[in-house]
Structure 1
Amino acid sequence: MAVHEQSPHRAGRRPPPPGTGPAACGPTTGAPARALAGARMLMGFVFLWAFLDKALGLGYATPAGKGWADGGSPTRGFLGSVRVGPLESVFHSWAGAVWADWLFMLGLLGIGVALIAGVALRLSALAGSVMMALMWMAEWPPARHLSDGSPSMSTNPFADYHLVYAVLLAVLAAAAAGDTLGLGRTWARLPVVRDHHWLR
């Protein structure tokens, strides 16, 4: 007698939604998974280091004594010096605002910690891509020279590092890069994350 495979519907089980099965999660084992995990942690350190330097004034991008903890503003210098692009006046109005400082710093910290831990990669990719897009517009690479004739901050009119970072964040989220050398699987099993896939 032939044995027929039981349908998941007859067994009382619903098949996973399209695009959410194991094959859709990207490489979770082997060298590709480890490479993505390494890229994820390195990208997380980029964001976390930016937070620490701006918060404590470690003397790299932020001079000693000028950190957020010392009363400095992490947005005033950068946004206040914007001299090109369609959002120049908008960025000037944001420069040094308390809400902008908090949002920027919490974004750097949250994205950095999430990437290193391998959790909430979709949210991190969204928040990080928005941040990178705004920073790209603040530097406005399409403007080859500023009004006084000095070179612009970017050396490429389109594909500078802000856009590369944004694309990498999207790749890490799409490939579920937190499942290897991270807490991605544990995070995915949390009830609230199971019920809301956008938190994955």
Structure 2
Amino acid sequence: MPVNLVQDGTPRPLLPAIASKYLGRKCLVLDLDETLVHSSLKPVPAPDYIVPVEIENNWHNFYVLKRPGVDNFLRKMGEIYEVVVFTASLSKYADPVLDKLDPGRTVAHRLFRESCFNHRGNYVKDLSQLGRPVGDTIILDNSPASYIFHPHNAVPVSSWFNDPHDTELTDLCPFLEDLTNAQDVRGVLNPFVQHA
């Protein structure tokens, strides 16, 4: 993974300096696939979006389903957190999906595969590289391998594919609202307890 270095040789943070409207807020890092949406190259009945993506000079349609409650979840979280979508997917796929999922730009930042750390064949999201206090950073992800470096910062969620009766994002809202008051989220998020 290429690392940008600042003048003193330390790695440049993945995120820019915090904008004034987010000062005092914690950082909520959200996974994309199987957490907020599910995408398939095979046609599915009634997709929420069809996103064309060029892969090796060929265009492919991704059929995207939104997890139930995702619109309201993003709106609520965007009011109380600095929201970052951090996905192991490539930007040429994830960017157009996020353009459709988040037309109002609730998500402050987008990070893609090139920002992940390749650890034993897994794409790991290293929260210490974001440029935000780790004690103020929460990651919501369906893949425990993604947050193997920071289990105490994780809110595990189940993988979502197409269950129309899923309520996990809606159910998490009160918990995540309460978490904004924590001195250090790692004191609340025990990696051995399922919070969802």
TM range (shorter): under 0.3
With the length of structure 2 as denominator, give the TM-score of the two structures.
Answer: 0.28
* Bigger Rg, which one: 1
With the length of structure 1 as denominator, give the TM-score of the two structures.
Answer: 0.28
> If each structure's helix is expressed as a fraction of its own residues, which one has the higher value?
1
